[in-house]
Amino acid sequence: MAAPVAAARQQNSSELRGLGVNRASFGAQTFDDRDLKQLGRTHSADEISKTFRQLRDAGFANLNFDLIAGLPGQTLSGWQRNLEQALTLRPEHLSLYLLDVHEGTPLADQIRAGMRPKPDDDLAGEMYAIMIEQVCAAGYEHYEISNFCLPGFASRHNTKYWAGAPYYGFGNSAHSYDGHRRRWANERDTMKYVRMIEKAESPIAERTNPG
């Protein structure tokens, strides 16, 4: 990461903390650079740790990042190394997901073309079992299917879905629910979303009002 970019991110993080934002979450996916490239990600494994430290330096005492298990070609030992590196950083919260291949992503195209092996469901199951054992042994609570936290740091964002609570999303692709029947989602395309906001237009692109 270039120094000016790092400095800008540090400043942005500090400004958010100063505004009262008390929890930060970011996508790590994996600490393996080869796997990151395979996923089409633009960050490196080293930048995960740098981002974590920048957020700590900005004053965040409640941090989360995610990792993905079951990547094509990923081994049990490789997954364990991911967990060990995550636990060394010791965030207050961890979101640990099994791979879900989405159409339109570079990985889906590579699998279809035979460039990558299909995900191994049995191996992913073993990774899930190791994940639970290793993370819980480190003092985290397994409070939701894919989410772990240190005591007192369960995410209200995650638990609200199970409780049917209302939530309001801000930004492109954000989803909202009124707690009763209505759901809506904002425009996914970032530039189109920005233009709509600049013109004081509603960014809502989808609405669901079940009978």
157 or 46, which is more confident? 46
Q: Taking all residues of the chain, what is their mean pLDDT, rounded to a whole number?
A: 89
Task: Examine the domain organization and report whether 104 and 203 are in the same domain.
Answer: no
110 and 187 in a common domain: no
Q: Are residue 12 and residue 83 in the same domain, yes or no?
A: yes
pLDDT digits (tens, 9 = 90+) for 76-115: 999 999 999 999 999 999 999 998 887 777 778 888 888 8
pTM across the whole model: 0.79
The residue whose two tokens read 């079940």 is 210
The structure tokens listed for 121 are 């469901």
139 and 204 in a single domain? The answer is: no
The CA R_g of the chain, rounded to the nearest whole Å, is: 19
Shared domain check, 199 and 130: no
Q: Provide the token pair at 48.
A: 């995960």
Instruction: Give the amino acid at 91.
Output: P
* Best CA proximity match to 30, nearest among 64, 66, 3, 1: 66
Task: Name the nearest CA neighbour of 129 among 50, 49, 176, 70.
Answer: 70
DSSP structure string for 64-114: EEEEEE--TT--HHHHHHHHHHHHHH--SEEEEEE--PPTTSHHHHHHHTT
Name the domain count of the chain. 2
Please check whether residues 122 and 182 belong to one and the same domain. Answer: no
Q: What digits encode the pLDDT tens for the residues 17-31?
A: 888 889 999 999 999
Instruction: Supply the range of the domain harboring residue 149.
Output: 3-154
* Of 185, 180, 94, residue with least CA distance to 132: 94
End-to-end CA distance of the chain: 50
